[in-house]
Amino acid sequence: MTESTTEKLTATLIDRAAALDAADPLAHVRDRFLLPEGVVYLDGNSLGALPAAVPPAVEDAVHRQWGTDLIRSWNNNGWWEAPIRTGDAIGRLIGAAPGQVVAGDSTSVQLFNTLLAAARLRPGRRLLLTDPDHFPTDQYIADSVGRLLGLEVRRVPARDAAAVLAAEGADVAVAAYAPVDYRTGELYDTAALTAAAHTAGALTHWDLCHAAGAMPIGLDAIKADFAVGCGYKYLSGGPGAPAFAYVARRHQQGFDHPVTGWHGHAEPFAMSGTYAPAPGITRARVGTPPLLSLVALEAALTAYDGVDMESVRAKSLALTGFFQECADSLLDGLGFTMATPREAARRGSQVALRHPEAYPLVAALTARGVIGDMRAPDLLRFGFNALYLTYADVLHAVRELRDITSTGAHRATAYQQRPTVT
């Protein structure tokens, strides 16, 4: 591609980005985040940006609620109800009616509790299906549940799961999958897979970490059984934010989870030595939640006030589609291939590019204030949070990537040494 051609393409894309930003119905929501000057943040699929509502909420929780009110805050400041209250706020974003979502504990704890409980609801079935491309923790915990319950854990790609359910569904207890491939951003049909599992008499378990807050999920509408998700990606609850668990109302009476803590007891302050589960979603609580993190998450969720998830999804698709368009125009011939589907119905809220020098490219981009991440061996990942990203951000990121790659700037010694977190 000649320099003249590149300049013409870039000029056209600049005009496109400006027009898209001018017409963006969510542009005002960007002001609800504290974004560092000179940074294009495309890693919200790993850690969301800081919502402006969080610092004052945490300051109040530390200085007034903890510092002044002390232990009285469990009653006076709603600490005891926070896991259910925050769960309901998340529920509004994932299509769950009140009383079906609880926040607290880590994703791993929530995953273990709900997956094992789901399998217990289907005694006599010997198979647990999970995705070989699932996030590693999901696979580790599936294996652990399999060992504990004597189940065969079979790794079946999401695209093949419906066929396996049709052929061997009578043996399947749970199909445990994610709507979005955490590496490539490919989106799967949650409604179709849930229906296939139910036809076979099996249950579904969804990991929503890369979907919650980025798109409508409609858990109640698709008749989902169980789901978990983290609070620190698109929900922007902060590093290590509490995770959430969804237990469909019809399963709550029979919800028999392995980690039974006192916060899930019917009468926690009776201090009984025998566990008696609380009614409803409260039984899915475990122990004392990390209150400061929970306060941060609850405050972060106010960034969605007055925003419907259909609008979030529409902008997300427009952002990722524009990124793909920019990449096609400006990165042609530089060794990149598109790993993310181009069809909107098959695309989550991230785009992944393959390149043999993925890590140094991401490191060089970060040094220029364009923050994405990489996943081994060759994926550059870019996450798009529709609440705070602009189309100008998207174009800037691709232009910087083109400049780095075409000049070989990423081959500098400083970008060859990988830190612990990539």
The residues assigned a catalytic role are 135, 207, 232-233, 381
For residue 399, the SS3 value is: helix
Are the CB atoms for 42 and 384 separated by under 8 Å? Answer: yes
How open is the CA angle 259-263-267, to the nearest 5 degrees? Answer: 115
What string of DSSP letters covers 253-310? TT---S---GGGBSSGGG--SS--BPSGGGGG--S---HHHHHHHHHHGGGGTT--HH
Burial degree of 133 (CB within 10 A; 0-12, 13-18, 19+): middle
Q: Under 8 Å CB-to-CB from 89, ≥6 apart: which residues?
A: 298, 301
What is the C-alpha to C-alpha distance for residues 352 and 5, in angstroms, rounded to an integer? 25
Q: Give me the residue label for tokens 């590093």.
A: 239
For residue 173, give the 3-state DSSP assignment: strand
Rounded CA-CA distance 132/148 in Å is 20
Query: Which residues are CB-neighbours of 56 under 8 A, at least 6 positions away?
Result: 299
- Phi, psi for 174 (deg, rounded to 5): -140, 140
Residue 344 DSSP code: G
Question: Running DSSP on this structure, what letter comes out for residue 223?
Answer: T
